[in-house]
Amino acid sequence: MKAPTLILLCLTALTAQAQASTPDAWAAFDKTVLASCTKASGLKAAKPVGNPAQFDDRVGYTALLLQGQYPQKHMKGQQGTELCLYHKKSKTAYVTEWDSIRPQ
Check residue 7 and give its pLDDT.
44
pLDDT tens, residue by residue, 55-89:
999 999 999 999 999 999 999 989 999 999 999 99
Distance CA 68, CA 46 (A): 4
Residue 29: what are its φ and ψ, rounded to 5°?
Answer: -65, -45
Tally of structural domains, the chain: 1
Residue 8 has pLDDT above 50, yes or no: no
Residue 12 has pLDDT above 60, yes or no: no
Amino acid, single-letter form, for residue 6: L
The mean pLDDT value for 41-66 works out to 95
Closest Cα to residue 81, out of 34, 40, 48, 33? Answer: 48
Residue 2 has pLDDT above 60, yes or no: no
| Structural domain that includes position 46 | 3-101
